[in-house]
Amino acid sequence: MTEPREITHWIGGKAVAGASGRYGEVYDPATGRVGATVGLASPDEVDQAVAAARAAFPAWRDASLTQRARVLFAFRELVAAHAGELARLISSEHGKVVSDAAGEVARGLEVVEFACGVPHLLKGGFSENVSSRVDAYSILQPLGVVAGITPFNFPAMVPMWMFPVAIACGNAFVLKPSEKDPSASLRLAELWAEAGLPDGVFNVLQGDRVAVDGLLNHPDVKAVSFVGSTPVARHIYETAARNGKRVQALGGAKNHMVVLPDADLDLAADAAVSAGFGSAGERCMAISVVVAVDPVGDDLLDRVRARVAELKVGPGDDPRAEMGPLVTREHRDKVVSYLDGGVAQGATLAVDGRETPVLGDPGEGFWLGPTVLDHVTPEMDAYRDEIFGPVLSVVRVASYEEALELISANPYGNGTAIFTNDGGAARRFQNEVEVGMVGINVPIPVPMAYYSFGGWKESLFGDSHAHGTEGVHFYTRTKAVTSRWLDPSHGGVNLGFPTNG
């Protein structure tokens, strides 16, 4: 049996083997076998990565906007050319099917394309003659060394929500990806180098909580971006803010999809299945709760069950597969616990994913097929917890008002959707619902790159959303300059108090 390959750090423009003596195992979720090991950074290695970024920052800060844009365009072309390779790499470590992983890379590329417009994005303001022969203007400047801490579920897309904008704005970046599927970030680092990015501007620090806390406490890290669960997001926010850092920490979700009686039920059923079970439900924007407004519940459930019965579950590299395994055995077992737990608390197991056949040999893979719990109520664990797996809960309500109250009372506020043919109801919903991202007949309302991604309530800690113009503002700070250039008629010395005459 061949030895698992070792996944390294990327520091100062080159691969650097882990030196801490601590390693994590990276699994192929479809087989349950270890495919690689990854070095888990020590505090000294955190210091090395930050030092490399700090050393690279001054020259990159002073690089012209045209130079930065050229590197970004070159990086965009390289990622596009290697998209298939990246998708297969993601699939082998995360478990999602290759087509889904390719979609992830494509959405990440949209942020790179947005960041290519950095000469326009960094325009300041100018006011002439704010006082006699005095001009005022504002400029946007980078922060310095910034860090991104990203989750396992989108090992390419979520980092690309962060680092293209940060680097375009003139910062140096340290990425701490998930130790569960770390290879994509290392390949992206290689592509950055090939694109001509100076050594040290982009670094990858593999690791666990030791690396995270090292970045949060490091005095040279000026800002931290995070996507993950709400408890960790709260820790990131509180720790980084206490250390005087700028923070955007995106937390968990419990996304509801309301189906009104006038909705196209075939469209709604397609959406519920696609948004509930794509990527095995391991998405912060997955639909995890369908809120069926009477009397559509039974009819909608029948249509969902019919579609689930046709889904193909199998290894990510099998072109027939539509859904792959979960990322680890421990996570699969935790998700499975909600099935019996839901029934014990009064829900009905309408579809049991444990009975779903797997294409090929399931082996020791981390499998769970699409699962539907019906007659779920807000008191149940399956409703209250972010399950982060292929479990779709169906809640029955009597009215639009009850659906709205249910969603707005939920502690999460990441995404939501409404399915209806009534424009007035849809407009009322987008106005009234207390959620940051809203879809109208769109089940996963992830904004385009030139808008910004982020929720409300316990789905976001900090004031800034990811990418778009909010991302530009997060990775820059404004400097106001007031200037006077004297001409020969300035009049000599005047000790009086200056006025705006």
What is residue 487's predicted lDDT score, i.e. its pLDDT?
74
Average pLDDT over residues 354-379: 96
pLDDT at residue 381 above 90? yes
Please tell me what DSSP assigns to residue 446: P
Cis, peptide link before residue 295, omega less than 30° from 0: yes
Considering the candidates 118, 160, 284, 291, report the single residue annotated as catalytic.
284
474 phi and psi, to 5 degrees? -65, -40
Average pLDDT over residues 260-286: 97
Spatial separation of the C-alpha atoms in residues 207 and 221, rounded to whole Å: 17
**pLDDT confidence of residue 3:** 77
Task: Tell me the average pLDDT across 3-14.
Answer: 94
CATH architecture of the region 5-251+459-481: 3-Layer(aba) Sandwich (3.40)
Confidence (pLDDT) at 486:
80
Residue bearing tokens 């979520």: 158
- Interval 55-73: pLDDT, tens: 999 999 999 999 999 999 9
pLDDT at 497 over 80: no
8-state DSSP, 81: H
Residue 26 pairs with which residues in a beta bridge? 36
- The residue extents of the domains of the chain are 5-251+459-481, 255-440
pLDDT tens, 146-197? 999 999 999 999 999 999 999 999 999 999 999 999 999 999 999 999 999 9
pLDDT of the residue at 8: 97
pLDDT beyond 80 at 496: no
Q: Which of 71, 52, 56, 13 is nearest to 171 (CA)?
A: 56
- pLDDT band of residue 244 (cuts 50, 70, 90) is very high
Annotate 102-161 with DSSP letters as a single string: HHHHHHHHHHHHHHTTHHHHT--EEEEEEETTEEEEEEEEE-SEEEEE--SS-TTHHHHH
Per-residue pLDDT at 196: 98
The rounded distance, in Å, linking the Cα atoms of 440 and 430 is: 8
pLDDT given for residue 346 in this prediction: 98
Percent of residues, the chain, with pLDDT higher than 70: 97
Q: Which structure tokens are listed for 19? A: 């030196």
The overall average pLDDT reported for the chain is: 96
In this structure, what token pair is assigned to residue 447?
């904004």
Of 335, 339, 341, the C-alpha closest to 350 is 339
Tokens of 318: 């099998």
pLDDT in tens, 416-472: 999 999 999 999 999 999 999 999 999 999 999 999 999 999 999 998 999 999 999
284 tagged catalytic: yes
So what's the pLDDT on residue 116?
Answer: 97
Nearest Cα neighbor of 46 from 205, 155, 266 is: 205
- In the DSSP assignment, the letter for residue 300 is H
pLDDT of 499 > 80? The answer is: no
The answer, yes or no, to whether residue 79 has pLDDT greater than 90, is: yes
Instruction: Encode pLDDT of 95-134 as tens digits.
Output: 999 999 999 999 999 999 999 999 999 999 999 999 988 9
pLDDT band at 274 (very low <50, low <70, confident <90, very high): very high
**255-440 maps to CATH 3.30.420.40:** no
Tell me the pLDDT tens digit for each residue of 313-326.
Answer: 999 999 999 999 99
Q: What is the pLDDT of residue 489?
A: 63
C-beta pairs of 482-486 under 8 Å, 24+ apart in sequence: 482/130, 482/134, 482/135, 482/136, 483/134, 483/135, 483/136, 483/137, 484/133, 484/134, 484/135, 485/133, 486/133
How far is residue 317's CA from residue 315's CA, in Å, rounded to a whole number?
5
At 2, the pLDDT band (50, 70, 90 cuts) reads: low
Nearest to 245 by CA among 270, 271, 215, 275: 215
Q: Token pair of 167, please? A: 């680097």
What type of residue sits at position 420? T
Across 217-230, average pLDDT: 97
pLDDT of residue 283: 95
pLDDT, position 488 = 64
Secondary structure letter of residue 486 according to DSSP: -
Q: Check whether 492 has a pLDDT greater than 70.
A: no
Find the mean pLDDT for residues 387-409: 97
